[in-house]
Amino acid sequence: MLFTYRVASLCCGLAAALAFGLAHAEERPLWELGLGAGALSLPDYRGSDERHRYLFPVPYVVYRGEVFKADREGARAQLTVSDRVHFDVNVGASVPVSSLENKARAGMPSLAGSIEVGPALDVLAYRADDDSVKLRFRVPVSYGLTLGSHFGGNGWQAAPHVNLDLRKLPGLDGWNLGLLTGPIYGSRQRHAYFYDVAPQYATPDRPAYRASGGYAGTQFIGALSKRFDGMWVGGFVRYDSLNGAAFADSPLVKSRSYVAGGVGVAWVLGQSSQMVKVD
């Protein structure tokens, strides 16, 4: 999951990307297709004290090609440098946030939907011999392009993090636990898109504000999933802290910490007869 905090990137990848469970060395189908359902509870944006709940269908798409892949880490092209180092090209998306439905942004322009694209460096730091533990360092960088009548860029974001995958959990046979944490950094343009208040939109309770680039808070994520015969289930909880963020004093930041979460279930409806080795 690219951890830009908007709905579509989570919706599109929930069934495949909620969990950070291991891809242990074995033969699996080249592709799998399925369909399921998911539920999310999310703030409108990072720092909002207003949230929405979403129910939606979840496509389950897995492709295990040598270069092009689609799995729990998203859709991407992968360039392998060594057994432990590779680069990805990630693609994500987001839906709009209407200012008519968010009190803090009332009277301001709504947030447009966007497509986010960027590279990611992935380094495997440790893997147990039985694949029960895997530790990775990952540095994804993404650039957002807003859609609709106001097409343009909304800046860069980088989210370096440590990802710990655990299998063979005591009392939870077959379940995978993923733990992720790391800081987030954004450009001035990225922060301005979400947290600037232009003078013409200032009110007595919402003074004009100009955000700067830099540190954007820290994320903590835990995810649990299990693949049954013909079915996948999973869920995640995310905690974000915005203390010390470059935009923390924006009047649009109503909460400097929050919890979000989601659950999903998907049924595998078809798969390739061709098998490939995954590790």
186-204 tens-digit pLDDT: 999 999 999 999 999 999 9
pLDDT at 261: 92
pLDDT tens digits, residue range 43-69? Answer: 998 999 999 888 888 787 777 766 565
pLDDT at 228: 87
- Residue ranges per structural domain of the chain: 7-272
CA 15 to CA 235: how far, in whole Å? 9
User: pLDDT band at residue 70, thresholds of 50, 70 and 90?
Assistant: low
User: By the 8 A CB rule, do 206 and 251 touch?
Assistant: yes
Range 7-272 classified under CATH 2.40.230: yes
pLDDT at 148: 77
pLDDT tens digits, residue range 1-19? Answer: 333 333 333 443 443 444 3
